[in-house]
Structure 1
Amino acid sequence: MFADHGLNQAYPTLSSFSAPLAVPDRPIIGREREIIQVMAALERPVLSNVVLLAEAGVGKSALVQAVALSDEQRDYVEVDLAKMISGLASPDEMAALIKALFDEAELYSSQQKRELVLFIDEFHQVVQLSAAAVEALKPVLAASGVRGLKVIAATTFDEFHQHIRPNQPLVERLQRINLTPPDKATTVKILAGMAKQYGVDKQFFDESMFETIHELTERYMPASVQPRKSILVLDSMVGWHRHTGRPMDMHLLADVLEESAGVNVAFNVDAQRIKDDLDSKVLAQDFATRVVAKRLQLCVADLHDKGRPISSFLLTGSSGVGKSTTSNAEIPVWSEGGSVAWKKAGDLLPGDYTFRRDGAPQKVLGVFPQGEREVYRVTLGDGRTLDVSDNHLWAVVPAKRSRDEGYTIYSTQTLINKGLASNHKGDCTAMKYFIPMNEAVQWPERELPVHPYVIGALLGNGHMTSANALVMSSDDEFTVAKVAGLIGAAGFKKAKSAYSWVFETGIPWGSQGKRKNIQLRDSLADVSEMIDHLAGEKRIPEDYMTASIEQRWELVQGLFDTDGCIGQADGARFNVSYSTASEGLALDVQQLLFSLGVASSVRTNRRKQGDHVRIEYRVHVKSKNDGKARFFSLPRKLEIAERALGVNKRREKTFDYVGIRSIEKLGCSQEMVCIYVDDDEHLYQAGQFVVTHNTELTKQLARLLFGDDQRHLLRWDMSEFALPESVELFRSELTQRVWSMGHSVILFDEIEKAASTVTRVLLQVLDDGRLSDDNGRQVSFLNSYIVLTTNAASEIYQSIAQYSPDDDGSGKEMVKRMREIRRSISATQGDNRFPPELLGRIDAIVPFQPLSMETRRRITQNKLRDLRDEVRRKHRVMVGFESRVLDYLVEDKADNDSNAGGARAAIALLADEVTSAIAAYINAHPEERRIRVQVNGELRSENKQLLDSEAYIEVVAVR
C-alpha cells in the first residue's frame, strides 16, 4: 500500500511506522463469531474502536488478519510501536508522534476514499510510556467513526487490568472483545490444517494424534494457551521429521514434550508395582503404603473423579514441629569479616547465617512470623534464659537416663506438665532434664587493633585510670614479658612499686640512658572505651567478644593468666575460676565462655575490709579436665592444668549438657518467629527445629508418578502462612506455581500451622480443582495430587510407639485406632484447626506407624550401603563396616523417642561421626584403597551394666 513513492511522501509518518497487515499463512478456523463481532464494531458510526483481550498465543493477530481478508471496504495496517518508541528522545515526544500518525491516517481516508484500520498490538505500551500520548489518543478515538479511521488494539488480560483499566475515559472509547482459547475440536482442526499445509498429513491415519497433542499440552503446559502450544509442538515434530526422517508418532511426540516442557510423558506408572515400589523406599509402613497404593490404582485406571484433583492425602504421624522464639531474641550470626555478629530473631532474613549446634555457620532458609504468643522464660542451670512459646521444642535428656541413649523431643508445655514447674528451684542434682551444650561459635577472624591477650591481661592487671604511662601490676614477669612483646615494647621495667611495671618505647629520654615509656592513651587509642574505668567498671570491648575462636581463646588466656586461678581440691577436681570486682566484666567473661562452648556460673562473695564491704564476682568454669589447659599460658598455672589431662572425672560427661532449672510463664504475649535452617538436625544456637519425616512418602510419590521428585514436587511450609492476612500471598503463590506446573504432587507441610483463612482456600481446590488467581484467571488443579501433612494426633502415635511398635508397619494397632486418629485431628484446637469440611474432602488419611528398633536398623543399614557406594564411586576406595557400627548408631547413640523423627537421629549421627571420619581419613591418606570403619570400646548394648559408653568410631587401613 505504501510501496508507491508518492504515498510515502504524502504520508511520511504513516509509512515510517506502519505496514500493510500480513496475510495469514493458514486458514483461520473457529473464529467466525469473533470476526462478526469485530466487523460490527467497525461499522459503528461514532466509536468504531475495538480492544481484543486474550492471553498471548490465543490468536489476536490472526483474528485481525482474518477480518482484513473478509473486509473489502477498508485498508488494514499494523502500527510498529517498537519502532516508534525506539526513535524517541523522550517519552513526551510520543504524544506528537501519535497525533501526526492519526492525522495522516485521517488524511489517507479522505484522499483515498477508503477507511483505514490501524491495528496496534501490545497497546498497553502506549499507556505505560506516556500519559500525554494517551491524552492525544482520546479525542481521536472519540470521533473515529466520523473521521473515517478505525483502531483495533490488542493486549493481554493482565496488562489491560494493570495499565488500561484504571483510565476509565480511555476504556469507554474501546469496545472490549474477549478471545477465549479455542476448544479441543477447533484446535484439532487447526492442527489437521497445518499437517496438510506442511505436507505431512499422510503421517496421520486419523485425528487421534492431534487430540493427543491437545490433551498432553493441556496437562503438561498449563502456563501456555491454545492453540499456540499445540501448534508449537506440531511444528517441532515436523522439524524433527524433516531432519531425521523419524515417523510422527507417540515416541517423537514424547521427545518433543520432554525437550520443550521438561516432562517425560513416556514414563508410565506400573500399576502392578505401585505397592512394591513404595515399600522399597518407605520402610516399615505397610499400612500407609497400602492406603496410598489402593487409591493410586484407581487413578492409574483413570476411574477417579475428573472434577477434582486426581487424589488427595492427609499424612499423619509422630510429632516433631513447633519452634517459636520471640522476635526480640538475640541470635548470633555469621557475616563476612564479622561486620554483623548478632541479629534479633525477627530481623533475620532467608540467606542470613546462624550457627549450628557444633558452631559451624548454617544458612537460614526461611523466617516465618507466628504472630503474638504467650511468653515462657526458660532458665538453665548456668543462668542463661531464653523466651519461647509453649510449643517450642527442646532436645532433652532425662537426668535418670544415660546420655548415650539420645535425646527426647519435648515441647515447653510438655516439660511443664512433667513436673518442671515455674517455681522449681534447686541445684544441678535436682534438675530433671538436660539439653546439649553448644560448641564454639565460628565467627570469622577480626582485624583487632590490640592483641586479644593484651586486652585480657590489662583488664586483669592494667591501670586503666592513669593519665600517663601504661602500667601493669603483676608478680608474674612471664605475663608482663608476653604483653611487652605483643605491644611491640622495646623492654619493660619495674615502676615505683615493686609490684608494678611500665613498658619502654626504645626512644632515648634524658641524659642518663633512660627511654620513654609507652603511654596508656597511645597504646589503647583504638579501644578507648577501656580507659578511665575503675576496677568495678571494667568491660570487654564488644569486637573482642565476637572475634574468631582462636582470638577469643587468646583473650581468655590473658584474663585467666592474670585474674584466673586453678587449684586441685582433691585427687580428681581441678577447679578453674575467674575473679573480678566488676559485675559487668564477670558477665562478659561468662558470655565469652558460652560463645566458646564452655559452661560456667557466676557467684558473689562479700568481704568486709574495715568499714567497707568488698564485693567479688567469681566465674566458676565447668569444663572437662582435658580442656583446662586452654585457659592458661602462664607456666605455673599451665603446669597444674596439664596435670589434669591424665585424670578422668567420673561425671565429666555432664559438662556436655546443661540442665533446665525453671520455666516461668511471664503473663504477657510477644511477636514470635519460627526459623528454618539448612541443617539435618534443624538446630541453631538460640533454639531447635525438628522437621517431621512424613515428607519422605511424598518424594516417593513424585518419583513414582512423574519419574522425579524435583520439578514435579511443589512444597509449601504452611507455618509460613500462620497469620490470617497471609491468605492473599498464599493464593497468589499457589496459583502462580500451579499455573506453571499443574501436573505435579503438591505438598502442604504441617497444615495445622496455617491460619484457618488459609486452610479454607484449599476447600475450593479439593472440591472442584480450581482456584482464581490475582487476575481472575481460573487455575486448574485437576491434574494434581494433593498431599497434606500434620502432626495432630501425635499423642496416639506416642502410645502406639510405647506399647505396639512393629517391624513392617502393618498397622494392626492403627486400624483399631483410625477413628481415634480422625477424631483427634478434627479436635485440633485454636485458630489453626482443621475445618470438618476439609477432612470430608480428603480422599485418604495415611497414618504412619512409629518405627521399631529393627526398622531403624534397616533404614540405617541402607544409608551405610549408600555411603559405601558413594565413596567407591567418588574416591575409588573400598569401605568395610564392622557389624558393631550399626549397633553404635542405632542402639547406643541414636534417639529412640517417637517424636525424634524416627531414624533421623541415627542418620544424622552417621553423617556426623562415620561420614566425617571417612572423609578425614581419605583426605589424610589419599594413597589408601581399602579401609575399615570400626567401633573402639564396649557398647551399652553389649553390657547392660554400663551407664555410659566410652565407645567411638575409628577408621583404619585394611592390609
Structure 2
Amino acid sequence: MFNDPRLTESYPLLSKLSDPLKKAERKIVGREREQMQLLASMSRAELCNALLLAEAGTGKTALAQATMLADKKRLYLEVDPARMIFEAGDGDLMASMLKGFFDEAERFVKDEGQELVLVIDEFHQIVQLSDAAVEAIKPVLAASGIRGIRIIAATTYDEFHKHISPNQPLVERLQRINLNPPDQDTTIEILQGMAERYGVADQFYDDHIFRQIYEYTQRYMPASAQPRKSILVLDSMVGWHRLTKRPMDRELLSEVLQESLGVNVAFKVDGAKIKQQLDAKVFSQDLATSAVARRLQLSVADLNDKSRPEASMLFTGSTGVGKATTCSTEIPVWSADGSVSWKKAGALVPGDFCFARDGRPQTILGVFPQGECEVYRVTLGDGRTLDVSDNHLWAVYPSRQSREQGPTIYSTQTLMNKGLVNKKRDGRQGMKYVIPMNEAVQWPVRDLAVHPYVMGAAIGDGCLHPTHDHAFHLSSMDEELVARVAELLDAEHVRNERNFGRGFRLPEPRRTQRGRWPGSHAVVQYVQVEDLVGDLPEVRNKTSEHKRIPEPYMTASIEQRWDLVRGLFDTDGTIGQADGDRYNVSYSTTSEGLALDVQRLLYSLGVSSTIGTSDREGKTRTEYIVRVKTRNMDKERFFALSRKREIAQHAAGMNKHREKTLDYVGIRSIEKLGHTEPMVCIYVDDDEHLYQAGDFVVTHNTELTKQLAKLLFGDDQRHLIRFDMSEFAQDSSLRLFRSELTKKVWDLSHAVLLFDEIEKASPMVTRVLLQVLDDGRLSDDNNREVSFLNTYIVLTTNAGSEIYKTIAQYAEDDTGSGKQLEEYKKLIRRSISDTSAGNRFPPELLGRIDTIVPFQPLSLATQEKIVRNKLRQMIQEVLVKHNVRTTVDKKVLQYLVEDKGDTDSDAGGARVAVAKMTEEVTTAVATFINEHSSERRIRIDVVGDLVSDDKGLLRSDAHVEVSAVR
C-alpha cells in the first residue's frame, strides 16, 4: 500500500488488503450533485458512511475518484473484498480479519493524524460471506465518525435487494446514494473527453457520431449501462482507427457494432429495389410484397419508432378457399316484421340477417359471387342435403374424438379425399366426421289467424273442406284434445251425431250473421272452416293425402312452432317403447308433402329426424312416418296430451347416462353431380363464422419471410428464427418459450423472428409477445435485459382465413394485386380478431402490429411458375455437382401441378406439387446418377396418360422416368 516500509510493517493488514484509490483517467462530468451528497455524508458527526447504488458501468468508482480530488484532507484507500475472502479462507476467519483490519485503520488515523476513506466496491461479497462478517463490520459503521474512518460501499440494485436490504440494522448505518445512468448530453461529454485524451478528437467535426454511439448502445445493449457501453464502443473504434487509419465515421461505427453485437445499423438495402427483389422470389403476391416493402422503407431510412422492434407484420391468408353454395340454395333469414323468412343465396345482400348455428339472427357482412362452379351434393346422416362447391368450408369434428378442442375447417374436396366412412368396433361402418347440429332459428312472433296448436290439430284430425254448413269439425274421440282446441278457439265443443265429429259452437256474443248467397243472411253459430284457414292454399279444400303446413306457421316464433308441433303430434303422433329403455317418437300421415313439412319444421327447431314409409296390408294409401331423433328427456315437449306426456315422463327417467348426444350430425356422403351452377359465398357477423343454409344445415406462409431475412441480412438460415407456436399451446410451456426466445435473440439480436400460427399459442405465451411488441425488450433466465429492437417480427395466422379465401377467389388474380381485398380491409381485420375456438387470434395483439400482410391463394398458373423455378434450380444443381446436363419434357410440369398437385388450398398452395417434385423427380434423378455415374446427358419424361389430358380417367398410371440421352 505504502512506499514507506515503516508503514507497511506497522499496518500489515491495511497494506495487504487495500491500495490507494487511483486517480480518474478522464474528467468526471455530470456527477456534481452526487459528489456533494457524498462529501456531506462524510462530514457527518457519527455515521459517516455511504452506499452507492447503481447498475454496473454507471460510474460508482468514478464518483469516488471525483470526490477524492475535491477532498484533499483524507486518504482514500480501495479495499478489495476478493482479496479479503482469499486471505480469510472462510466466514469465521473473515470476521476476525475484518476486526483486525478496522483496528489497524483506526490506529492509523490516531498515529498518522489523517482520516481514512475506505472504498469497498462489490460490498455485497463481504455481507454474503457470513453473518459473523456482518456483525464484525457493524460497530465500525456505527462509530465511523468518532474513529475517523469513512466507508464508501458500492453495489448494484439487485445485489442490494438480495443480500443487504434484509439486514435492517446494516442498512441504517449506510446513507444510500442512487446513481442514475448519465443522460445523453453527459455521455457525449464523456466521449468527447475520451477522444481528446486518445488524440482522435480531430476525427469528429461535431457530436453526430457520439450521439449515434449513445443511441445505438441504448437500443442494442439494454443489459449494459451508460456510460460504460458507449465508452467500450468508442474504445473499439479507436483501436480500428489506430490499426487501419480508417476515419472514425458512421461506417466504422456500424462495423464495430456488427462485429461485437451482430447488429447491422448500416443498411445495405436499396430502398428503391426492395419490392423488386421480393417479387423476384415471391410469385403473384403483389399486395403482400407491397405491404412488406412499404414497412421496410421506414427501417432503411432509419425513421421507424426506436422504442419498438424494427417492424412487426401479420401474415394472413387462406389454407382453404371460400364458402360457396349454389345461388338457388334457400337460406332462412330474419326480418323484424316476419314478412321475409327465406331468400335464395343469390339474392342476399350485406345487411340481411341469416341465422347462426345457435339460431340467433346475425348480420351478413359480405356477399361474394363465385361464378359457375362444379356442384357437389353433401348428404347428412338424417337425410338433409346441401349443394355446394368443392371448396366450400365445413367445421367438422372427428366422430370418435373429443370435441373440446374445437372444429377443424375442411373443404368439401378435402373431406372427399380423406374419406367419410370408418369402421366401428362391431364391424359396421360409421360416419367419420360430424358437424354441429343447428339450434332453433329465432324467427319473430307471427300474427296468425288461429293458435298454432289448433292449426296442428286441424291438419291432423280436422275437416278443412267446406261441408253443408261450412262449419269446422274435428274428427277425434279424445276429450282432452277436443277440450283444449275448444278452449283455444274460445268456443264450446259439441258432438255431431252423424259422424261423431266435434263442432265448436261460438258463445252468443260472438255469433255473426253471414250470407250463404247474395242477399241472404243467417246466424253463424259455429266456428267456420274459413275462420281457420282463410285463403291458405296448403290446407283449404285439401284431403288428408294432400294437406301441407301453411307457410306462416312454418316460419313463426320458436314457441309458436312448438305449439304447432304439439297439435300435430297430439293428433297423429305416437310415443312408445321400442326395446329396453329406448322410446320412439314418430308422426304418421298419408301426405308425403306433410311429412316433409313436419321434418323441415323439426329441423328449424334443431331436431333431427328421418322419413320412412309403411304399406300396411289392407291399406290403399302409403303411410309416411317421420321418426324423431331426440333424447328421452326431451320427448315430453312434443305433446300436450297428458296420456302421451306421462309416457314421455317415464322415458325421461330411464338410464340418462346411456343417452346418446344429438348435438352433432354425421356427413354420410358427398357426390359430384356433374354440372355447374352459379354460386355465392356469404360472410356473417358471427364468432364461429357458421350459418344455417338449406334444411338448416350448419356450414361454415413462410416463403416471403425467408426472402425478407435474405434481403435484410443476406442469409435466410441463421438470421431467420422460427417458432412453431403449436408447440407452446399449454400454459406450462411459458418458461420454455421465454427461455428459448431470449436465448436466441441474445445470441443473434439482428434477425427475422417468425411466430408461425400464433393463434395456437397459450394466452400466457401471447402476453410475453405483447411485452416484446410494446417495449422491445424482455428479461432472460439470467435476469439480463434482451433487446428486440433490431428484430423484424412476423406472425402468421390462419384465423379468419375464410374471409381471405372468399375475397381472394372473387376473381382469379395471377399478380396477387388484391384489388378486391382493398375494399374489405375493415372486414378482414374484424374477421381476424373475431375468430373463435381453437382457431382464435388474440385480438390484443392486433393493435400492436404495424401492418397486416394479406396473401392471395395461388392460381394454377402461379403454381406452375413456382414449380418451374424449382425445376430450374434442380437442373442447375445437378450440372454443378455432377456435370450432368438435364432436359425436362414439358409434360413433367403439367404432371406435377395438375395431376399430382392439390387445388385445395388447405393442402398448402404449391407445396404439394413441390413436394411431389422432390419425391418423384429429384429422387429419380438422384437414383439414375448414382447408378449411371458415367452418363453426362439425361432427360426426364412422364410415361403414361395424364388425367389432366383425359378427364374420363378415374386413375392414371403416369409416372416420371429418367433416361440417358444418346
TM-score (norm 1): 0.58
Counterpart for residue 921 of structure 2 = 914
1:807 matched residue in structure 2: 814
Partner of 2:195: 195
Give the match for residue 844 of structure 1: 851
Shift of 1:295: 3.4
Which residue pairs with 1:6 in the alignment? 6
Counterpart-to-counterpart distance in 2, 1:808 and 1:727: 40
Q: Which moved more, 1:853-862 or 1:119-128?
A: 119-128
* Matched residue, 1:65: 65
Shift of 1:287: 1.3
Would the alpha carbon gap of residues 280 and 151 (structure 1) be closer, same or farther in structure 2, given more than 3 Å must change?
farther
Which position in structure 2 is the counterpart of 1:853? 860
Aligned pairs for 1:371-770 (under 5 A) are 390=405, 694-709=701-716, 713=720, 715-723=722-730, 744-760=751-767, 766=773
**Separation of aligned partners in 1, 2:158 and 2:138:** 22
Which residue does the alignment assign to 2:234?
A: 234
Task: Return the offset for 1:139.
Answer: 3.5
Structure with greater Cα Rg: 2
Cα distance in 1 for residues equivalent to 2:956 and 2:412: 15
Correspondence for 1:141: 141
Displacement, 1:84?
3.1
Q: Secondary structure at the match of 2:44?
A: coil
Distance 2:722 2:181 in 1: 30
* CA distance in 2: counterparts of 1:897 and 1:206, whole angstroms: 62
Deviation at 1:849, TM superposition (A): 0.9
Give the superposition deviation at 1:812.
3.1
Tell me by how many angstroms 1:298 deviates.
4.6
Aligned residue for 1:21? 21
1:7, CA displacement in angstroms?
A: 1.6
Aligned to 1:935: 942
Match of 1:291 in 2: 291
CA contact (8 A) 1:286 1:808 kept: yes
CA contact (8 A) 1:221 1:229 kept: yes
Correspondence list, 1:851-890, <5 A: 851-890=858-897
Distance 1:129 1:716, change over 3 A: farther
Q: Could you tell me how far apart the structure 1 residues matched to 2:127 and 2:245 are?
A: 49
Give yes or no for the alignment of 1:822 onto 2:833.
no
Q: Does 2:799 correspond to 1:792?
A: yes
Question: Which residue number in structure 2 is paired with residue 51 of structure 1?
Answer: 51
CA distance in 2, matches of 1:153, 1:802: 71
1:124 and 2:120 aligned: no
Amino acid at match of 2:212: T
CA contact (8 A) 1:377 1:665 kept: no
Secondary structure of the equivalent of 2:253? helix
Quote the residue 2:101 is aligned against: 101
- Please report the TM-score for the alignment, with normalisation by the length of structure 2: 0.58
Match of 1:899 among 902, 906, 917: 906
1:89 Cα deviation (Å)?
4.3
8 Å Cα contact 2:92/2:132 also seen in 1: yes
Aligned to 1:479: none
Are 2:285 and 1:282 equivalent residues in the alignment? no
After superposition, what is the alpha-carbon deviation per residue over 1:675-720, rounded to whole angstroms, capped at 9, x for unaligned?
xxxxxxxxxxxxxxxxxxx233333334434544456555544445
Count of aligned pairs: 629
Q: Is the contact made by 1:801 and 1:851 (CA closer than 8 Å) also made in structure 2?
A: no
Q: After TM superposition, give the deviation of residue 799 of structure 1 in Å.
A: 3.5
Displacement of 1:24: 1.6
Tell me the alpha carbon deviations over residues 2-43 of structure 1, each in whole angstroms, 9 at most, x when there is no partner. 222122222222211221111121111222222222222333
Q: Distance in 2 between matches of 1:158 and 1:251?
A: 37
Distance 1:193 1:958 in 2: 75
Counterparts of 2:242 and 2:414 in 1: how far apart (Å)? 77
Deviations 1:777-815 (CA, angstroms, capped at 9, x unpaired): 987666554433221112234445666443221223433
Report the 3-state secondary structure (helix = DSSP H, G, I; strand = E; otherwise coil) of the residue aligned with 1:137.
helix
How far, CA to CA, are the matches of 2:80 and 2:662 in structure 1? Answer: 69
CA distance in 2, matches of 1:180, 1:741: 29
Q: 1:315 to 1:91 in 2, by over 3 A?
A: same
Return closer, same or farther for 1:254/1:771 CA change in 2, 3 Å cut-off: closer
Q: What runs of 5+ residues in structure 1 fail to find an aligned partner?
A: 321-374, 380-385, 402-406, 409-414, 434-663, 668-693
Structure 1 residues 899 and 202: CA distance shift in structure 2, 3 A: same
Deviations 1:924-944 (A, max 9, x none): 444444444443433322333
**Could you say what secondary structure the match of 2:280 adopts?**
helix
Q: Is this contact kept in 1: 2:221–2:787, CA < 8 A?
A: no
Contact 2:46/2:145, CA 8 A, preserved across alignment: yes
How much has 1:739 moved relative to structure 2?
7.0
The one-letter code sitting in structure 2 at the alignment partner of 1:905 is V
Match for 2:21: what amino acid?
A: L
Give me the whole-angstrom Cα distance separating, in 2, the residues matched to 1:755 and 1:905: 30
Q: For the Cα contact (< 8 Å) 1:807–1:851, is it kept in 2? A: yes
- Give 2:112's aligned residue: 112
Q: CA deviation at 1:96?
A: 3.0
AA of the residue aligned to 1:790: T
Task: Specify whether residues 308 and 200 from structure 1 end up closer, same or farther in structure 2 by C-alpha distance, changes over 3 A only.
Answer: closer
Taking the aligned partners of 1:695 and 1:140, their CA distance within structure 2 comes to 66
Alpha-carbon spacing, 1:701–1:8, altered in 2? closer, same or farther (3 Å): same
Preserved contact between residue 722 and residue 755 of structure 2 (Cα < 8 Å): yes
> Partners in 1 of 2:155 and 2:228 — Cα distance?
16
CA distance in 2, matches of 1:872, 1:131: 75
One-letter code aligned to 1:892: D
8 Å Cα contact 2:195-2:201 kept in structure 1: yes
Distance in structure 2 (CA, Å) of the matches to 1:155 and 1:928: 74
Q: How far off is 1:858 after superposition?
A: 1.6
List gaps (5 residues or longer) in structure 2: 321-395, 435-659, 664-700
Is the counterpart of residue 186 in structure 1 residue 193 in structure 2?
A: no
The answer to whether the 8 A contact 2:760-2:838 is kept is: no
Q: Determine if the alignment matches structure 1 residue 948 to structure 2 residue 955.
A: yes
1:334-373 maps to which residues of 2 (within 5 A)?
none
> Aligned residue for 1:442?
none
Taking a change above 3 Å as real, the CA distance of residues 842 and 394 of structure 1, as seen in their structure-2 partners, is closer
CA deviations on 1:436-461 (whole Å, 9 max, x unpaired) are: xxxxxxxxxxxxxxxxxxxxxxxxxx
Q: Which residue of 2 aligns with 1:610?
A: none
Deviation per residue, 1:303-353 (Å, 9 max, x gap): 555665554322212249xxxxxxxxxxxxxxxxxxxxxxxxxxxxxxxxx
**2:254 matched to which residue of 1?**
254
Cα distance in 2, alignment partners of residues 114 and 942 from structure 1: 105
Local SS of the residue matching 1:281 = coil
Deviates more, 1:779-788 or 1:110-119: 779-788
**Distance in structure 2 (CA, Å) of the matches to 1:831 and 1:954:** 44
Q: Conserved in 1, the CA contact under 8 Å of 2:730 and 2:762?
A: yes
Cα deviation, residue 181, structure 1: 2.3
In 1, the alpha carbon distance for the partners of 2:423 and 2:901 equals 30
- Tell me the distance in 2 between the aligned counterparts of 1:98 and 1:711: 53
Distance 1:943 1:52, change over 3 A: farther
CA RMSD of aligned residues (A): 4.1
